[in-house]
Amino acid sequence: LSEGRVLFEGELRRMLPGEEGEVISKLSGLGAHVYAPMIGSEGLWGAILTGWKASGGKFVQGELDLLTTMALQGAAALEEMSRRERAVSETVFLRDMLDDLTTGLIAVDREGRVVIFNGYARRLTGYELEEVIGQTVYKLGEEVDTENTGASAAGEERRRVESALIASNGERIPIGMNVSVLRDGDGGRRGAVAVFADLSHVERVEARKKLEGKMEIWAAVAAELEHLFKNPLVSIKTFAQLLPEKYRDKEFRERFYKLVCSDVDRMSELIDKFSTFSHPLHLERTPFDLNGMLSKVVAKVREREGIEIEESYGESIPKVMLDRVLFPEAMENVLKNCIEELDPEERRISVSTSKIEDILEGEVKALITIEYRRGEVQVRPLKGAGTLQFAIAERIIGEHGGLISKSDENGVSTVRIEFPTVGEGGDEGEGADSRR
């Protein structure tokens, strides 16, 4: 049968002895004497069985060729049906698999029309499949349209992009997504696929944490301001109460004048520092060698405070966009805060720099690490540094696009400060001004 030619009952009996031959005999009893094999590209599918000619004559070659053609066409039809069933089965499996994903998936073609919109995406946006498939991705919002069509047109990947979808009710839904370009066998662009997750909950948590952090800082700053203002005000009040009876005392008047002027100057300086929070900062940022600028700050603090500061600077750290005035001020404030918390028995601070890779954002960042052993007496009641100078430093570092954090473990405090670095093509030397 596998040879593809028409076979007769006698030939098959000789070719198939035993049980298979008995099957041929049974079929013969049912009137099947001629076998036309149905052979396709995937092998033997079966056979067309027929009896002898009613006229009793022999089959001529043309009749046998017709049987062969019918068998081949039947095999082709069965193969096509099988392929369609498999395709439908695979499509259903793929659809169910995509719908069961715990992340959203949107695929667009070269023209930006949506071709895949999985269950997560439908549940998140409230759109039905038929409302989106075939429509341009712009229907889901300008932001996600820009990322997907932009990636498809430019042939570029988009790693960890924060974007937004517009739901069917008009609500803006923040998402984090990765966009990959779809290519054909020749490397040409066919479209793009975006895998994303809802960031609404993350944003709410981050906003709450940020608010809690600000409340902690402000509570600590308020407590410190109370202390810093109360002391000079007590002195001024005491001298003011004594002024009527000691006004004629020249020495008293001179002491009163010096003390009041000194205390007023101190309070004025505090107010100037405090105003940092109420006015926007104007940074003039240029690319700087972080190690070089930080080492100058450390040298200044070491000389002024007279404490031991160990330095360890990493190699090959990309330049950082810094304000030449405000960055040193921020670092001095951080170091001053650390010094105030030092263990009296171990007045030593270590300062180091290194570069780290942010895997989520795909960026290289510069890291400053400050470690010291704190004294239990100096531990502040609130988490973090909780001083005015630390709050000012945090504001300045934040305006630089940086992040500062503080942790305490086994009596050792660690301050970590991260800064974004200048990317490729952005290192134009210290004369490249960038204003914020």
Within-domain flag for 40: yes
Per-residue pLDDT, 424: 47
By residue range, what is the domain housing residue 423?
Answer: 284-435
pLDDT tens per residue across span 270-325: 677 666 556 677 788 999 999 999 999 999 999 988 889 999 999 889 999 999 99
Within-domain flag for 126: yes
Per-residue pLDDT, 42: 80
Q: Name the 3-class secondary structure at 428.
A: coil
Per-residue pLDDT, 391: 76
HSE, side-chain direction, 13 A CA sphere, residue 144: 32
Residue 322 shares a structural domain with residue 418: yes
Q: What is the pTM of this model?
A: 0.45
**How many Å apart are CA 73 and CA 172, to the nearest integer?**
56
Q: Is residue 327 very low, low, confident or very high in pLDDT (cuts 50, 70, 90)? A: very high
- pLDDT of residue 198 exceeding 70, the answer is yes
State the first-to-last Cα distance of the chain, in angstroms, to the nearest integer. 83
Mean pLDDT for 92-98 is: 81
Residue 114 shares a structural domain with residue 162: yes
The tokens for 356 are 């780290």
Q: Domain count for the chain, please give it.
A: 4
Residue 389 shares a structural domain with residue 323: yes
3-state class percentages of the chain: helix first, strand second, coil last, to nearest 5: 45, 25, 25
Q: Is residue 80 very low, low, confident or very high in pLDDT (cuts 50, 70, 90)? A: confident
Output 321 or 241, whichever has higher pLDDT.
321
Within-domain flag for 402: yes
pLDDT tens per residue across span 102-118: 888 988 888 888 989 99
**How many Å apart are CA 288 and CA 306, to the nearest integer?**
27
Q: Which of 177, 198, 219 is the last residue of a domain?
A: 198
- Mode of pairing for the β-strands spanning 348-358 and 308-312: parallel
Residue 183 shares a structural domain with residue 316: no
- pLDDT of residue 100 exceeding 90, the answer is no
Q: Name the 3-class secondary structure at 431.
A: coil
Within-domain flag for 2: no
Within-domain flag for 1: no
**How many Å apart are CA 174 and CA 199, to the nearest integer?**
5
Per-residue pLDDT, 380: 44
CA distances (Å), origin 81, targets 17, 45, 48, 85, 309: 33, 12, 18, 6, 79
Per-residue pLDDT, 224: 63
Residue 210 shares a structural domain with residue 93: no
Angle at 55 between CA 50 and CA 57, to 5 degrees: 80
Residue 166 shares a structural domain with residue 233: no
Q: Where are the alpha helices (DSSP H) in 275-381?
A: 290-305, 326-340
Per-residue pLDDT, 342: 86
Share the mean pLDDT of the chain: 79
Q: Name the 3-class secondary structure at 231.
A: helix
Angle at 220 between CA 215 and CA 225, to 5 degrees: 125
